[in-house]
A and B are shown apart, each in its own frame.
Chain A
Amino acid sequence: EAQVTQNPRYLITVTGKKLTVTCSQNMNHEYMSWYRQDPGLGLRQIYYSMNVEVTDKGDVPEGYKVSRKEKRNFPLILESPSPNQTSLYFCASSNLGSPLHFGNGTRLTVT
């Protein structure tokens, strides 16, 4: 089944403890992207990647890192999480001519 898989679905952590949210797609998509969604603010792009080893900042990249070493994986790294990074995160992927496919989301709480 074609899908974007994010893990974990839920995560509660403490300020400063490094964490990684994984994202994997099995559709051979070139484009992948991370978004965060907060009440009243819609989807805001964090980082995106056009292909392997090509990443670019979105609208809200501060406090986040990404890597694209392989086409299928696009992990989101929070080196030192803070409470203002508490949010619902979505990973998505697509190819030119196709719509974005979203993962099921990761609800992160930083205390």
Chain B
Amino acid sequence: GQNIDQPTEMTATEGAIVQINCTYQTSGFNGLFWYQQHAGEAPTFLSYNVLDGLEEKGRFSSFLSRSKGYSYLLLKELQMKDSASYLCAVRDNYGQNFVFGPGTRLSVLP
């Protein structure tokens, strides 16, 4: 079976740091992806992990532990424009199909 879980909503303050967690149980694993989606727009790619550890890209970092079925997205120096939904996705089985989590809606307050 396929199951990906994320918190539904989170709130943080401008300038702060926020961590969005993702846990997964999927049949096969070929990478975990994080996407950002503003309301009514297409998701845009943020980060990708296939090996355990931390990947850093500017204000965004993503961590993966394959043995625990766990990932997180870390957003630093939050800005108002970071208010969006953040989607966790796992590529599984044949190495091509993507399974998405329900998404976490982040609100950044002044």
Which residues in A have some Cβ–Cβ distance to B below 8 Å? 30-31, 33, 35, 41-43, 45, 48, 50, 56, 88, 90, 92, 94, 96, 99-105, 107
Contact = CB atoms under 8 A, between A and B. Distances in A.
Contacts of A101: 45
Interface in B17-65: 30, 33, 35, 40-45, 48
B102 A42 contact: yes
B106 to A, nearest CB: 15
Contacts of B44: 102
B100 A48 contact: no
Contacts of B96: 30-31, 50, 94, 96
Interface of A, secondary structure class, is strand
Given A43-B87, A50-B94, A99-B48, A88 B40 contact: yes
Given A41-B102, A101-B45, 13 more contacts: A30-B96, A31-B96, A42-B101, A43-B103, A45-B98, A50-B96, A56-B97, A94-B96, A94-B98, A99-B33, A100-B35, A100-B43, A100-B45
A101 B35 CA distance: 10
Given A42-B87, A50-B94, A96-B95, A102 B100 contact: no
B108 interface: no
A103 B42 contact: yes
B32 to A, nearest CB: 11
A68 B84 CA distance: 33
A102 B43 contact: yes
Given A31-B96, A42-B103, A50-B96, A105 B42 contact: yes
B87 A100 contact: no
Contact of A104 (B42, B87, B101): B42
B78 interface: no
Contacts of A96: 30, 95-96
A67 to B, nearest CB: 18
Q: Which of B40, B44, B100 has the most CB of A within 10 A?
A: B100
B73 interface: no
